[in-house]
Structures are given as C-alpha cells and as structure tokens.
C-alpha cells in the first residue's frame, strides 16, 4: 500500500476524483498530514467517516520505525536509525547549533557512488527511498524536537545516498517541504549535496526551484578526484564545475563546496593552493570536513595543524570556509556510518537520549 506521507496535493486530488470525492478535500487532507501532523485517520475530523475508511484502505499512515536514537558526547548531534519495511536501515542526523536545527536526511539505502572514504557506498546501492520515507525522517524528528517546543529549521540532503540518483522522489520531497500548504519551509533552508551528477544538476536547473546545491568536491584536480570518487571517471571535473556554476548563476545561490580532508591524499598545502586557484572569484564557500574514521578503511584524518594550515590558506585567499562534522565522531555521524556498523558495537560508547535529557 502507498504511504500517505509521500502524496503530493496533486496525487491526492487525483485519488479523490477517482473515489468520487471533491478534489478540494486534497488541501484538507494535505494540511492534516503536513501542518497539523496527524498520525491517524480518526484525527481528521472534517473528513467524513466514509472517506476516512476509504483512505485507510488505500494508504498507510504508519510511521517509520525508529530503531535507535543516539546522542553524541557533546549533546549537539543526535543520530536516528530507521528500520524500513523491508528490514533495511537508513539514518538521519539532527544537528543542534545556535539558531539552527538541521536535519541531515538519507535519500537511498546504501549508495552507488562508492567514494573511498564513505561508509554508505560500502554496501553498494540497495534501493531508492520513496518520498514518503524521506519526508518522514523530517516529520518524526520534528515531532521529537516539538517536545522541547522547538522545530527543524534546515534540511540537508547529506545522509546516505546520492540524492540526484533518486531524482524524482527527492524532488517530490522538496516540493512537499516547500509547499505553503505543506511544511512551508523556505527554499533557502534546503541544501542538496551531490557527488557531481552532471545531468541531475542540469535537470534541477530546469525545475522552478531555487534550493542550495552543495558539491562534494574533495579534490583540487581531476586526477586526485578520480582516485577517491569513482563517479569522477564518468563526470569530468570541468563538466561538473560548469554545471554547478550554471546552477548557481540561474538560481542566484552561492555554491558550497564540501571537501573531506584525508591525510596524505588531499590535505597538503599544495592542494589548498590548487583549490584556491580552481574556485577563486566564484560566489562560493568551502565546508572542510576532516575525515571521520570508518571501520575497515585504512584512511587517516589529518592532524589538527594540517587542517588548520589548509583552512588558513583558504582564509588568506578570502574564501569563506567553515568546518563541519568534527563532532559526533563517537556516534559515527558521517554519512552511512551508523547503518553500516553493528549498532550494538558502538552503543556502549554514548549516552542514551534519556541520559542526555533530550
């Protein structure tokens, strides 16, 4: 059965019409799900009992099953592990920062990109998530935050999977997120991170959307990039960069480059200088992400001094730079790490939500 959480207003209108109901009920139904956050058909009191019964026969309203909720040692990062109907697992991360409540959502079970440093690709791609499964990560974590009187403010597609490899469901999710009758989130608060799927970036440019796009660059040249990102063999760096800068021009959004620093591979001073040359003059910023160790991988996180030196070189060139995801190492907060590990093996290293008082 289809989940109600992935239904657009248009899907609902079509279904209602076929069921002999008035299409305007779509708006009511949509608002029950995404604004009033109903979790059962009975709550939808302005819909007739007969309609509620047919809805319950056509759609499920069951939530995703939260199998683990793990709080990082600093209490600022919370990881949720979801068990899906087919017994596969995906994760979301909630990042608490001053003025911001950001959810990092997964878009696929596993990933086809198989980047050398990433846990998600190790299991390969198992399947795409549906819009219902992606949007529920938002709804359930928002409900969790609501207990403290707070709400999610930002969404980043930086969890498991390559969002542009699951284009239709991801775009459908974004449309529900920004729908004024749905979650009503500003497009400025949504960032899609891609490994550089050129046709996906160009297709997104053709939509009437203006979300932020971040590019996982990770290298200052095609040669190094090819070593750590298998997709770089398919997509030349110059093509990826021109797609991303065309997107930025068309949407008037700054480009964000993500750069995972890995010791001895892409973290040397010469790499920083080369990176500066590559992106200087663009409306952009760089997110430096020191490599988070993944079990079974032989890569190393650079020393603190090396990370700082890299940062300095970008700062001297006046390239706005931030550092991310240095926290939450113990809860395996990098993409796909939790779903990959046996949960039991890491569970002992951090507090339960109750202990942390969240």
Catalytic sites, residue numbers: 91, 335
Q: How far is the CB of 19 from ligand SAH (least distance, A)?
A: 38
Which one of 24-32, 51-59, 241-249, 284-292 is the stretch in contact with ligand SAH (CB under 6 A)? 284-292
* Integer Cα distance of 200 and 299 in angstroms: 30
Among 90, 185, 255, 294, binds ligand SAH (CB under 6 A): 294
182-241: which residues touch ligand SAH (CB under 6 A)? 193-195, 216
Residue with smaller CB distance to ligand SAH, 61 or 244: 244
Q: How far is the CB of 142 from ligand SAH (least distance, A)?
A: 21
Q: Should residue 80 be labelled a site residue for ligand SAH when binding is judged by CB under 6 A?
A: no
Residues binding ligand SAH: number (CB under 6 A): 18
Q: Should residue 77 be labelled a site residue for ligand SAH when binding is judged by CB under 6 A?
A: no
Q: What is the DSSP pairing of strand 100-104 with strand 154-157? A: parallel
258-277: which residues touch ligand SAH (CB under 6 A)? 258, 260
Site string for ligand SAH, 84-123 (x = CB under 6 A): -----------------------------x---xx-----
Q: How far is the CB of 90 from ligand SAH (least distance, A)?
A: 12
Q: How far is the CB of 12 from ligand SAH (least distance, A)?
A: 30
Residue with smaller CB distance to ligand SAH, 15 or 247: 247
138-177: which residues touch ligand SAH (CB under 6 A)? 158, 162
Which one of 21-29, 249-257, 267-275, 290-298 is the stretch in contact with ligand SAH (CB under 6 A)? 290-298
Residues within the interface to ligand SAH (CB under 6 A) = 113, 117-118, 158, 162, 193-195, 216, 258, 260, 289, 291-292, 294, 325, 334-335
């Amino acid at each position: 059965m289809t989940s109600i959480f992935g239904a657009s207003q248009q899907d609902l209108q079509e279904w209602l019409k076929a069921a002999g109901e008035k299409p305007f009920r779509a708006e009511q139904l949509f608002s029950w799900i995404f604004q009033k956050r109903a979790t059962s058909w009975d709550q939808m009191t302005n819909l007739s009992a007969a309609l509620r019964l047919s809805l319950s026969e056509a759609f499920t309203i069951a939530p995703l099953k939260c199998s683990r909720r793990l709080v990082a040692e600093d209490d600022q990062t919370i990881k949720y592990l979801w068990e899906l109907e087919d017994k596969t697992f995906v994760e979301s991360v909630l990042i608490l920062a001053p003025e911001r409540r950001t959810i990092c959502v997964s878009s696929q079970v596993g990933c086809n990109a198989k980047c050398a440093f990433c846990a998600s690709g190790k299991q390969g791609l198992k399947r795409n998530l549906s819009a219902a499964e992606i949007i529920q990560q938002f709804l359930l974590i928002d409900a969790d935050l609501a207990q403290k009187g707070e709400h999610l403010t930002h969404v980043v597609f930086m969890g498991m999977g390559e969002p542009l490899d699951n284009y239709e469901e991801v775009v459908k999710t974004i449309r529900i997120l920004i729908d004024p009758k749905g979650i009503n989130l500003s497009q400025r608060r949504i960032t899609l991170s891609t490994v550089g799927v050129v046709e996906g970036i160009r297709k997104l440019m053709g939509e009437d959307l203006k979300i932020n796009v971040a590019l996982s660059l990770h290298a200052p040249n095609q040669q190094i990039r090819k070593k750590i990102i298998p997709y770089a063999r398919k997509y030349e760096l110059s093509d990826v960069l021109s797609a991303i800068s065309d997107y930025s021009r068309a949407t008037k959004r700054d480009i964000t480059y993500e750069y995972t620093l890995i010791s001895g591979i892409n973290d040397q001073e010469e790499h920083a200088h080369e990176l500066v040359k590559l992106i200087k003059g663009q409306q952009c910023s760089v997110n430096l992400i020191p490599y988070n160790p993944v079990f079974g991988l032989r890569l190393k996180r650079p020393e603190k001094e090396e990370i700082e030196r890299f940062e300095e070189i970008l700062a001297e060139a006046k390239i706005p730079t931030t550092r991310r995801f240095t926290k939450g190492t113990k809860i395996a907060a990098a993409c796909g790490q939790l779903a990959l590990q046996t949960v039991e093996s890491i569970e002992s290293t951090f507090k339960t939500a109750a202990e942390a008082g969240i």
